Amino acid sequence: MALALKRKNGESVESFVSRFRKAMQKSGVLLEARSRRYHDRVVTKQKRHRSALYRSGKQEEFARLKKLGLLIKKKTKR
């Protein structure tokens, strides 16, 4: 939901800002944003399983390359 407020003729900036704040509180946008801020999205069991399979596959590939000596070391900046 977007708030479309315009400054009225002769309205001071302070009164416009207070009117805007009141409209924001009534709309519930800030309340919604604060409630979503720290909540993680629900991830399905299938998606978690796929992610675990991907990670284990990458770990196995890394171990195989390390064993063969094919890993390329990146230079770190100091």
Evaluate whether residue 42 is within a structural domain.
yes
Q: Tell me the pLDDT tens digit for each residue of 7-49.
A: 999 999 999 999 999 998 898 888 888 888 888 888 999 999 9
Evaluate whether residue 2 is within a structural domain.
no
Whole-Å CA distances, 34 to 5, 19, 30, 57: 22, 21, 6, 38
Please provide the distance, in angstroms rounded to a whole number, between the alpha carbons at the two ends of the chain.
48
Evaluate whether residue 76 is within a structural domain.
no
The distance of Cα 2 from the centroid of its chain, to the nearest Å, equals 20
Residue 1 has what pLDDT?
A: 54
Evaluate whether residue 4 is within a structural domain.
no
Q: How many distinct structural domains can be found in the chain?
A: 1
Residue 63 has what pLDDT?
A: 94
Residue 71 has what pLDDT?
A: 84
Residue 41 has what pLDDT?
A: 83
Residues 6+ apart with CB under 8 A from 30: 24
